[in-house]
Structure 1
């Protein structure tokens, strides 16, 4: 018991220390966990030994990681990016597998199965490192960024069959083909059964759980699904991770996907951290130092060859050399799933010890140098490619078309929940607006609902000009991204020094800084939330409502320089504005087709029919006898639970 307690205290202490250092150096936390494993493992200072219990907990880290990948899986996103995902991503993984296998056979003289296992591990790139760095540099939606994310998406999908194939490679040569076919067949049957049976059950189950309004029950349900489906696939002779992936994929089709992702994140991060600690413990530093030339050669092959493969494929797909180089550098490192596949091959005795140690050392080094390489790639690529110019020109044209014919309008930077709330206020006062956003799914929903929303980065000079900045009345920044907000403020103050700029902030920490950059007013969410909390507390304690609201008004009037007038209290209209909006597209087989609005009686679900769009014509007050037709768009307003219930009734009649 004393040894176990010492191990827990030691791991927690080192985790806190190393993660703090990693955050200070702007490095991903997983590198800190790997470093901890190197230090405390039997090949480091020997402070901890490998244990079966730790390995089991670490395996659940992989389970929750695969569950998260399933949550992010979207058929709509996959369909929209299918050319990049299956073209560029499939080519990268396939060529890397074949190339590594050939090098292993011809240069190292090893068995082809070893080459295939090593190639599978090296084909993966780090989603955690790359997405974090691209997001910080606001490059996720650039041409190289989109291509990189498409490849990472394919790699995530490729892990599923690779988790099945690698154990099958350990079978005898004669029975290998049968073992692989059997494993893939079992996986296909499990996948089909779970999807066919589970998709509708999952949605109904979470609807029922959500109606109980119990966070405890919701969390228990999530854990039950993750562990239960993992156990089912394990009993079928497949991996735990496959069941977790299927569970995440089923939940991704419901409205509860984001809540589930937020709830499981603590479990995933802690258990995944333990997994990377156990991975670090497997690395023999003494062996690595003795075989440093071999490790450095493997590192060069991994980074240069993998990057070269991506570069050539992007050129064949008619990208410019600049775009190809940036995409290649962003993918030229190992990834989290690479370690999963490498350890799986080791556990199935596919890899000799020397091959395992050299490969893992090269993968670790590639991840440590990835932030430096990606940072330098941005500095090296000073000139935009022709394709980027083409994409930017197309974006500017789209924004200009949407802004054509409006003036004295408001430019909304971002159209999330905050942007939509501001837009509803503007609609009530008949003030025109144009909203800029980079979330394609959100834009598609907004356009279906008849909103003036267009794809565009608000932190680009030409986009703001195309949105009619010179004739606009005001600009509102509705997202809490500090670097992007700083860029917007700098550009707007340069182009329109007189324009009012209202900025959303998460708290008061950067309030004065944003005002010094030119923000007319900064609205911190923490302040507004605390004011309403204080008002509710006072009223519950018996203070008259008028006096409580008067105190809130005084604080607001003192706090906001531009709003000295009377603040209205809460009303039905404000409550409506705080609700969500959903554009429900009626499919051919939907239950609502052929039924009138009166028959549907959507009001009983607690939602309001704001409008009906038919053939791009918006009817703000459709008659109760209006019969719903295929391809109609019903624009509904209500809480997320009410919208979910109404949408299921519209589509399924239940």
Structure 2
């Protein structure tokens, strides 16, 4: 028992030290785990033969990850991405397998071995890629979405690969295995429900298993989760979530299917469940720990003995496989219209071999397709390619992406051929709404934005926009700033927006300047720069959502509108006081104790005002609103009895 505690302690210490250091150095957590594995395994020799066994256990982290990925995908979303899934993913697997197979044949390998090697190296690392995408915020990029489609197809493709590989068995390897079995009895046999079934029966069992997962997830999961949730015990819900994932993985294994695919399918089925977020929060910690353990075992499992004996060969094979896959992916990016930095993100992120490569290698040896010596060499190639993958992401971040951003900034500014009554600087989500409203009311606008991709995207949808930096005086002059009535500053940069407001109010003091603020502090800086009107990007939306919350709780719409107006009126009055308090302390800390006290007083004033009885008198802020219906006060008293408790709580 003591040895298990010591081994667990060694793995945990390695992760606790290596991962934070790697993150701080900008290397990412995955590379940190891999380095930790190398240190405690081949370098220090603190772990040994148990690494392979632990790796099989840790692979369950990949199963959990695909379950969580499935939870994020509704069936209709999965159907919507079918073209990229089947087209891009299918061509990647076929193209990469064919290219690797051709190279293997050129080196004299038999067709069956060459094809098996091609299938193994056609797969990429779902664990490393998705983990890195999440860490670096690349999941929603065009390159990230296409990479995810390919990874998803690869995980699905593992199933037909497992069914096909036994057909490639080499007669000489089968004969050796039979002799070995004759000399030594098998110690154990894996459980399987389909080991001796004919082909037609095996197909029926597979269809029945998938039907059980889909039907059970759709019809049985909700009653089960409601029953467990009624106990009020969080640990029981956690146990239920684990039971679900483990049970599905076990069922898939018993019928010879990929556990990862089964849990992914279950996740998709449960994507619309009201218990989805609870499942995510319970499974995610286990997924993170097991994935980290898996990466450590990959690093610890590198056999430096074989690596040193075949160092040049293994390095050349690794680099050759990664280069070949990257070229196939780049070719597909041209075919499917993936452009710019997304093209390189797509190609580099999927250039490695994957964790399912270990599964196929082990399975290929069991089915007498690959000899042991070749499988050991290929296993090192898979591990080394995974080890090098974080370096490819660093290459993308530090070298490739800055070049594309620089090229975007170096693009010549567009020639502005018109002048507008209103100039809008920045056409992101905030500026677009303003522009639509003004144009819809016949106001002629000139829109400037320094992000070329944003301008090009708007043009594709028929909107008129010009590429250029609004901080450049000559562009503002061309856009007609001297004759313009107003400039709207909606730039996604605090410093640039403040600098632009200062320039406009200094050079054109009679020009109206409306500015978007990210928060109260940014608003004060814009006001200090001279902006005539400042609006926080979340202020009105938050008020409207708060008002809708009151309506849903049973408060009368007229009363809610009054409360919103009260809040808005008091906040406007207090903003001058808070601004001057902030301004007076310009030499020291911006938000000192005096400012904090004034802010707390504002909160108390708002709370006091909205709780006052104003039924006998309407404020000026109410006059623009439709008068309340007859008997409003009586109806409100009845409706508000239920909501009074909620008012006290807020």
Fold agreement, TM-score > 0.5? yes
Alignment CA distance shift 1:329-1:235 (3 Å): closer
Alignment CA distance shift 1:133-1:29 (3 Å): closer
Match of residue 46 from structure 1: 45
Does the 8 Å contact 2:214/2:269 carry over to 1? Answer: yes
Match of residue 646 from structure 2: none
Alignment CA distance shift 1:373-1:353 (3 Å): farther
Match of residue 231 from structure 1: 250
Match of residue 634 from structure 2: none
Match of residue 411 from structure 1: none
Distance 1:21 1:513 in 2: 37
User: What displacement does 1:325 show?
Assistant: 4.5
Match of residue 3 from structure 1: 3
Alignment CA distance shift 1:208-1:26 (3 Å): farther
User: What displacement does 1:311 show?
Assistant: 1.5
User: What displacement does 1:377 show?
Assistant: 2.5
User: What displacement does 1:167 show?
Assistant: 6.4
Distance 1:23 1:203 in 2: 40
Distance 1:560 1:119 in 2: 69
Distance 2:102 2:499 in 1: 57
Helix, strand or coil at the partner of 1:369: helix
Match of residue 36 from structure 1: 36
Match of residue 109 from structure 2: 109
Aligned pair count reads: 473
Does the 8 Å contact 1:125/1:152 carry over to 2? Answer: yes
User: What displacement does 1:287 show?
Assistant: 1.4
Alignment CA distance shift 1:557-1:337 (3 Å): farther
1:157-168 to structure 2, matched below 5 A, reads 157-162=156-161, 165-166=164-165
User: What displacement does 1:306 show?
Assistant: 0.6
Aligned to 1:265, which of 272, 284, 306? 284
Alignment CA distance shift 1:224-1:27 (3 Å): same
Q: In the TM superposition, what whole-angstrom CA distance separates every residue of 1:80-117 from its partner, at most 9, and x where no partner exists? A: 322222211211111112222332233241452x4344
Is 1:379 aligned with 2:398? no
Helix, strand or coil at the partner of 2:103: helix
1:484-503 to structure 2, matched below 5 A, reads 488-496=493-501, 503=518
Is 1:122 aligned with 2:121? yes
Does the 8 Å contact 1:489/1:517 carry over to 2? Answer: no
User: What displacement does 1:259 show?
Assistant: 2.7
Distance 1:338 1:471 in 2: 61
User: What displacement does 1:404 show?
Assistant: 4.6
From the CA coordinates, give the structure whose radius of gyration is larger.
Answer: 2
Alignment CA distance shift 1:209-1:504 (3 Å): farther
Distance 1:572 1:250 in 2: 46
1:66-85 to structure 2, matched below 5 A, reads 66-85=66-85
Does the 8 Å contact 1:161/1:184 carry over to 2? Answer: no
Distance 1:120 1:560 in 2: 67
Does the 8 Å contact 2:143/2:338 carry over to 1? Answer: no
Give 5+ residue unaligned stretches, structure 1: 390-394, 409-453, 476-484, 525-552, 574-654
Helix, strand or coil at the partner of 1:227: helix
Moved more, 139-148 or 284-293: 139-148
User: What displacement does 1:334 show?
Assistant: 3.0
Is 1:406 aligned with 2:437? yes
Alignment CA distance shift 1:181-1:503 (3 Å): farther
Does the 8 Å contact 2:348/2:393 carry over to 1? Answer: no
Q: In the TM superposition, what whole-angstrom CA distance separates every residue of 1:94-145 from its partner, at most 9, and x where no partner exists? A: 1112222332233241452x43443333223344554566567665555434
Distance 1:97 1:384 in 2: 36
Higher relative contact order (CA 8 A, sep 6+): 2
Does the 8 Å contact 1:299/1:362 carry over to 2? Answer: yes
Does the 8 Å contact 1:15/1:33 carry over to 2? Answer: yes
User: What displacement does 1:74 show?
Assistant: 3.2
User: What displacement does 1:309 show?
Assistant: 0.7
Distance 1:287 1:514 in 2: 64
Distance 1:340 1:512 in 2: 59
Distance 1:473 1:207 in 2: 51
Does the 8 Å contact 2:249/2:260 carry over to 1? Answer: yes
Moved more, 149-158 or 321-330: 321-330
Helix, strand or coil at the partner of 2:272: coil
Helix, strand or coil at the partner of 1:98: helix
RMSD of aligned C-alpha atoms? 5.3
Distance 2:238 2:257 in 1: 26
Does the 8 Å contact 1:73/1:252 carry over to 2? Answer: yes
Give 5+ residue unaligned stretches, structure 2: 176-193, 414-425, 440-460, 471-475, 477-484, 503-512, 539-573, 579-591, 612-650
Match of residue 310 from structure 1: 329
Does the 8 Å contact 2:23/2:29 carry over to 1? Answer: yes
Does the 8 Å contact 1:148/1:331 carry over to 2? Answer: yes
User: What displacement does 1:152 show?
Assistant: 3.0
1:17-28 to structure 2, matched below 5 A, reads 17-28=17-28
Q: In the TM superposition, what whole-angstrom CA distance separates every residue of 1:9-34 from its partner, at most 9, and x where no partner exists? A: 22221121111222123334333333
Alignment CA distance shift 1:405-1:23 (3 Å): closer
Is 1:559 aligned with 2:564? no
Moved more, 205-214 or 367-376: 205-214
Alignment CA distance shift 1:170-1:66 (3 Å): farther
Distance 2:18 2:524 in 1: 32
Distance 2:368 2:60 in 1: 22
Distance 1:350 1:561 in 2: 77
Alignment CA distance shift 1:240-1:313 (3 Å): closer
Match of residue 412 from structure 1: none
Q: In the TM superposition, what whole-angstrom CA distance separates every residue of 1:173-197 from its partner, at most 9, and x where no partner exists? A: 9999x98887665433311232134
Distance 2:523 2:7 in 1: 43
Does the 8 Å contact 1:502/1:522 carry over to 2? Answer: yes
Distance 2:360 2:124 in 1: 12
User: What displacement does 1:49 show?
Assistant: 2.4
User: What displacement does 1:252 show?
Assistant: 2.0
Helix, strand or coil at the partner of 1:99: helix
Does the 8 Å contact 2:125/2:352 carry over to 1? Answer: yes
Q: In the TM superposition, what whole-angstrom CA distance separates every residue of 1:552-580 from its partner, at most 9, and x where no partner exists? A: x999994387785345449999xxxxxxx
Q: In the TM superposition, what whole-angstrom CA distance separates every residue of 1:614-641 from its partner, at most 9, and x where no partner exists? A: xxxxxxxxxxxxxxxxxxxxxxxxxxxx
Match of residue 254 from structure 1: 273
